[in-house]
Amino acid sequence: MKLFNTLTRYKEDFVSIEEGKVKMYACGPTVYNYFHLGNARPFVTFDTLRRYLEYRGYEVEFCQNFTDIDDKMIKRANEEGVTVKDVAERYIKEYYIDADGLNCKRPTYQPRATESIGAIIGIVKALYDKGIAYVIEGDGVYYDVTKKEDYGKLSHYNLEDLNPGGGERKASYDGKKNPGDFALWKFKKEGEPSWNSPWGEGRPGWHIECSAMIKKHLGDTIDIHGGGQDLIFPHHENEIAQSEAANGCTLANYWVHNAFVNVDGEKMSKSLGNFFTIRDIVKHFPYKVIRFFILSGHYRMPINFSDELLRASQTGLQRISTSASNLKFALSSDSYEGSNEEASKVLDDAVRESVDSFIAHMDDDLNTADAITDIFGLVKAANTAIDSKASKASLKNALDKLTEITDVLGLDIGEDPEEIPEEIMDLVDQRAAAKKEKNFAEADRIRDLITSKGYSVKDTPNGPQVEKI
């Protein structure tokens, strides 16, 4: 597999440190609010990368953290008159509702920053003992960016370029040795949660949290570190600086970053106020459509949010689901006779080609956009094959492969027919009986009743076919 590595700016062959195993970390949410579509993109992207690596036979250890202490958390707690922990508990619960809805598999480890204070202090101490960190009285412990020669290697900035010392931000650099120095530990302010440390009571800076949780759960060097592209600088650059200076080895071999979700050409973000939370969007579109929408673009390209594109995603996903139900229905129908050998062979070949092409696209830097086109190729072949009476064995193979590759993308393409409730199946039988007696008014009445209960019934040459709407 090839992955675009932000460090080298090349698509590189992925080679894991330990054969057959992958250690992967992605920066998780700050839990002070519901997450929006822009936040959801990395969750879905790295869940899909993990699923694909597992599909290719790797054992993946995936760690995604919760930032449960920072300025925004404290502000939110003060506004609501509750503790920071209360805010974290509430929004971690809400996070799971949306992340589970989006079909993101639970990461192997999901640590909270506040449960990793020991590991955080350990790294700060290592940096302090090496003379890389220093104390600013009444402020905190800071990282001296000039102490690491290759600082800037991820963002491809150098220290002179960074020089953000002038202008209105100058005041905030008081006491720092260099403008780019950043806080590892912030001394306690009135009304803020705090922990003991060798330098005094306080709380961790944001960047150090990830460095500590990576070390604690995955070790000093990991295979893949992921996140949104807005995290490249300063967050990931600083994670590298801290971890590599403290541990004396590379933090991550591959740095993978997803592009933004845009609204009218601008990045969706809380600060711009142009965001839509997942909780808002699911009032209009199911979670599975949102996931499909996110994966319909390549992860390194911006995607534009609009109702039209979500509607197009819904139609696309529906086409895949319908094809799966048609296959299941033909397979379960006694009246389906699949005796066309030529059609069977055509289908078998098309399925093989679609799956090979799907793998080739996913191998090419997780190109989910083209991989979805391959899924549609399989769908088209399957639909044709049912009409031309391909064998049940070939249909079964097509259904198995369709399920397999849609699972890799975490797409939910519908329920098994046996999951249709008995009450609905009884109504379907009653309607069939009414039709047989040519009582069409009664048949239509029952059909409306079925529709009102959230199911559709369609008459096919192989008998009535029921689907959840």
- d(CA 136, CA 144) in angstroms, rounded, equals 12
- d(CA 24, CA 49) in angstroms, rounded, equals 10
- d(CA 33, CA 181) in angstroms, rounded, equals 29
Q: Tell me the window of 21-29, 48-56, 129-137, 425-433 that interacts with Zn ion (CB under 5 A).
A: 21-29
Q: Are 34 and 279 in contact (CB under 8 A)?
A: yes
Q: Tell me the window of 112-120, 206-214, 380-388, 439-447 that interacts with Zn ion (CB under 5 A).
A: 206-214
User: Using the rule CB under 5 A, is 24 a contact of Zn ion?
Assistant: no
Q: Tell me the window of 29-37, 81-89, 204-212, 404-412 that interacts with Zn ion (CB under 5 A).
A: 204-212
- Reported as type and span, the H/E element at residue 371 is helix 368-387
If the CB atoms of residues 213 and 320 are measured against Zn ion, the closer one turns out to be: 213
Closest separation between CB of residue 229 and Zn ion, Å? Answer: 13
Residue 215 phi, psi dihedral angles, 5° rounding: -60, -45
If the CB atoms of residues 184 and 210 are measured against Zn ion, the closer one turns out to be: 210
Angle between helices 287-295 and 368-387 (to 10 degrees): 110
Closest separation between CB of residue 63 and Zn ion, Å? Answer: 10
If the CB atoms of residues 27 and 390 are measured against Zn ion, the closer one turns out to be: 27
- d(CA 61, CA 58) in angstroms, rounded, equals 9
- d(CA 432, CA 92) in angstroms, rounded, equals 49
Pick from 3, 27, 290, 347: which binds Zn ion (CB under 5 A)? 27
If the CB atoms of residues 259 and 413 are measured against Zn ion, the closer one turns out to be: 259
Closest separation between CB of residue 118 and Zn ion, Å? Answer: 18
Closest separation between CB of residue 208 and Zn ion, Å? Answer: 10
If the CB atoms of residues 210 and 427 are measured against Zn ion, the closer one turns out to be: 210
- d(CA 122, CA 310) in angstroms, rounded, equals 46
If the CB atoms of residues 27 and 343 are measured against Zn ion, the closer one turns out to be: 27
Q: Are 192 and 203 in contact (CB under 8 A)?
A: yes
Q: Which of residues 375-434 bind Zn ion (CB under 5 A)?
A: none
Closest separation between CB of residue 455 and Zn ion, Å? Answer: 45
If the CB atoms of residues 22 and 210 are measured against Zn ion, the closer one turns out to be: 210
User: Using the rule CB under 5 A, is 63 a contact of Zn ion?
Assistant: no
If the CB atoms of residues 198 and 219 are measured against Zn ion, the closer one turns out to be: 219
- d(CA 312, CA 264) in angstroms, rounded, equals 18
User: Using the rule CB under 5 A, is 350 a contact of Zn ion?
Assistant: no
Pick from 44, 84, 119, 210: which binds Zn ion (CB under 5 A)? 210
Alpha helices of 273-367 — where are they, by DSSP H? 278-281, 287-295, 307-332, 341-363
Closest separation between CB of residue 235 and Zn ion, Å? Answer: 5
The label of the residue with tokens 């070790």 reads 219
The Cα angle at residue 101 between residues 95 and 103, in degrees rounded to 5:
105
Q: Tell me the window of 38-46, 114-122, 207-215, 293-301 that interacts with Zn ion (CB under 5 A).
A: 207-215
Residues that bind Zn ion (CB under 5 A): 27, 210
